[in-house]
Amino acid sequence: MHTPETPPRPAPPTTPGPVPPARRDPAVYEGLPGGIGVSLLRVYDWPAADGLSGGTPHLHLTCTEGYAVVGGRGAVQTLTPAGFRQTPLTPGALVWFTPGTIHRLVNEGGLTLHVLMQNSGLPEAGDAVLTLPPHLLTDPETYRAATALPPRGAHGSDEDGRDDPDGPDGPDGLDGPDGEDGADAAVARAARRRRDLAVEGFTALRAATEAGDPEPLAAFHRAAATLVAPLTSAWRERWRTGAAAAAAATGAQLDALTKGDASHLAAAGVRAEQPVERGRFGMCGRLDVYGTGSA
């Protein structure tokens, strides 16, 4: 007697598990060469107490930075334990400096340059400490209060939201330090105030260094390291996915080519973009910033 087979029971429904991310080819890096960042900078033309116009003195702790000058003229003043130096900046000049170099841009007329930054633009994303007077470097909160800028669009108020005694028009009758009007006026005044504080601190550091006293500069270095210590985990990730990944890709390409493997060339591509923001108030001037390799 033939007994029909029992039909199989339908399998119970299953919940699909997470789809594993596609494995990145270690021989392919799609960022800017070497994991750098780039911005276009028009240096402030606001005069400081010493009569020089320009930007805010500061240093970077993990990044080399470079300037490729495209217009105008000026100089970059630098301070290291080896002393003070002033380097002229004219169109075509390429100047760079390593971490720990305090630098101040001086604008002698229309100074415009491309800023080349290590570690995917980290200098514009946190790796910078301004040369404020020592009492403003004691802790992150005090430092932040002295350096934070109001959002663009805040008009007629200072960086902590109080009414600006100069009102929407600065004491010189202009809307802002550089003639900025409307939404940018309050930001410009705050940027100029912090610049002036940093010039004050820079002047003192330079005087001590030139007098043969290394301690004020060493103390500033220690204070800067303390201020950025809480940020280094995020910086490490930026380095890992930027400069470190770019270097690793070159290593993987060399390994492959040694074996006659050119498969990474099939991933070739071209990329282009326009600035994601124009005229951002930076430490040294107004910035056009890009989405790739920048803040």
- Ordered by where they begin, the domains of the chain are 33-248+276-289 (2.60.120.10)
pLDDT single digits (tens) 184-193: 999 999 999 9
* pLDDT for the residue numbered 265: 96
Indicate if the pLDDT at residue 74 is higher than 90: yes
Q: Is the pLDDT assigned to residue 112 strictly greater than 60?
A: yes
In angstroms, what CA-CA distances link 33 with 134, 183, 246?
A: 38, 36, 8
CA distances in angstroms from 245 to 14, 205, 219, 251, 262, listed in the order given = 38, 37, 34, 10, 19
Is 175's pLDDT higher than 80?
A: no
Q: What is the pLDDT of residue 155?
A: 53
State mean pLDDT over 58-81: 98
pTM, to two decimals: 0.84
In the predicted model, is pLDDT for residue 177 greater than 60? no
- Quickly count: other Cβ atoms within 10 Å of residue 231's Cβ: 15
Backbone torsions φ then ψ of 171, nearest 5 degrees? -65, -15
Confidence of residue 180 (pLDDT cuts 50, 70, 90): low
**Given pLDDT bands bounded at 50, 70 and 90, which one contains residue 164?**
very low
Which of 114, 108, 134 lies closest to 55, judged by CA? Answer: 108
Where b means 16+ CB within 10 Å and e means fewer, 77-87 reads bbbbeeeeeee
Average pLDDT, the chain: 87
Q: Which of 42, 53, 57 is nearest to 194 (CA)?
A: 57
Is 22 a residue whose pLDDT tops 80?
A: no
Q: How far apart are CA 98 and CA 118, in angstroms?
A: 10
Q: Which residue has the tokens 């074996």?
A: 259
Average pLDDT over residues 1-26: 49
Q: How far apart are CA 204 and CA 163, in angstroms?
A: 31
Which region among 105-109, 127-131, 181-185, 210-214 has the lowest average model confidence (pLDDT)? 181-185
